[in-house]
Structure 1
Amino acid sequence: MGVAIRVADEADRELVVRLLDEAFQDDPVSNWVFPDPAQRRAKHPGLMAAFTDVVLAEGRVDLAEDGSACALWLSVPAAGNHDGAGGNQEDGDGADEDGPAQLREAVDPDNERVELIGRLTAAIHPEGQAHAYLWMIGVTPERQGEGLGRALIESVLDRCDREGLAAYLEASNARSRALYERLGFALSGRPLDLPDGPRMWPMWREPRPGGPARA
Structure 2
Amino acid sequence: MIKATLEDKKRIADILTAAFENNQSVNSIIQQGRREYRIKRLMEYSFDVCSAFGEVYLSDDRQACALVVFPDQKRTTLRSLFWDLKLVFTCTGFGKINYILDREARIKALHPTEPFYHLWYIGVNPQSQNEGIGRKLLEEITRKAHADRRSVYLETSMLKNIPWYKKSGFELFAEQDFGYTLYFFRKKSTGFE
Normalising by structure 2, report the TM-score.
Answer: 0.82
Structure 2: unaligned runs, 5 residues or longer: none
Q: Taking structure 1 as reference, are residues 145 and 204 closer, same or farther at Cα in structure 2, changes over 3 Å only?
A: same
Q: Quote the offset at 1:130 in angstroms.
A: 1.5
The one of 30, 51, 56 equivalent to 2:51 is: 56
Aligned equivalents of 2:144, 2:91: Cα separation in 1: 37
**SS of residue paired to 2:34:** helix
**SS of residue paired to 2:70:** strand
The one of 170, 178, 183 equivalent to 1:201 is: 183
In the other structure, the counterpart of 1:75 is: 70
**SS of residue paired to 1:188:** strand
Counterparts in 2 of 1:103-142, with a 5 A limit? Answer: 104-108=87-91, 110=93, 112-113=95-96, 116-117=99-100, 119-125=102-108, 126-142=111-127
1:18 aligns to 2:24 (yes or no): no
Figure out how many residues of one structure are paired with residues of the other and give that number: 189
Which is richer in helix?
2
Normalising by structure 1, report the TM-score.
Answer: 0.74
1:6 aligns to 2:2 (yes or no): yes
Q: Quote the offset at 1:198 in angstroms.
A: 1.9
The answer to whether the 8 Å contact 2:30/2:93 transfers is: no
**SS of residue paired to 1:67:** coil
Q: Which amino acid aligns with 1:59?
A: G
The answer to whether the 8 Å contact 2:69/2:119 transfers is: yes
1:167 aligns to 2:167 (yes or no): no
Structure 1: unaligned runs, 5 residues or longer: 81-87, 210-215
The answer to whether the 8 Å contact 2:49/2:69 transfers is: no
Q: Quote the offset at 1:172 in angstroms.
A: 2.1
In the other structure, the counterpart of 1:192 is: 176
In the other structure, the counterpart of 1:213 is: none
Aligned equivalents of 2:53, 2:141: Cα separation in 1: 17
1:41 aligns to 2:41 (yes or no): no
The answer to whether the 8 Å contact 2:31/2:91 transfers is: no
**SS of residue paired to 1:161:** helix
Q: Quote the offset at 1:68 in angstroms.
A: 0.9
CA RMSD, aligned part only?
3.0
Q: Please, which moves more after superposition, 159-168 or 143-152? A: 159-168
Aligned equivalents of 1:31, 1:182: Cα separation in 2: 26
Aligned equivalents of 2:40, 2:100: Cα separation in 1: 16
The answer to whether the 8 Å contact 1:19/1:138 transfers is: yes
In the other structure, the counterpart of 1:31 is: 27
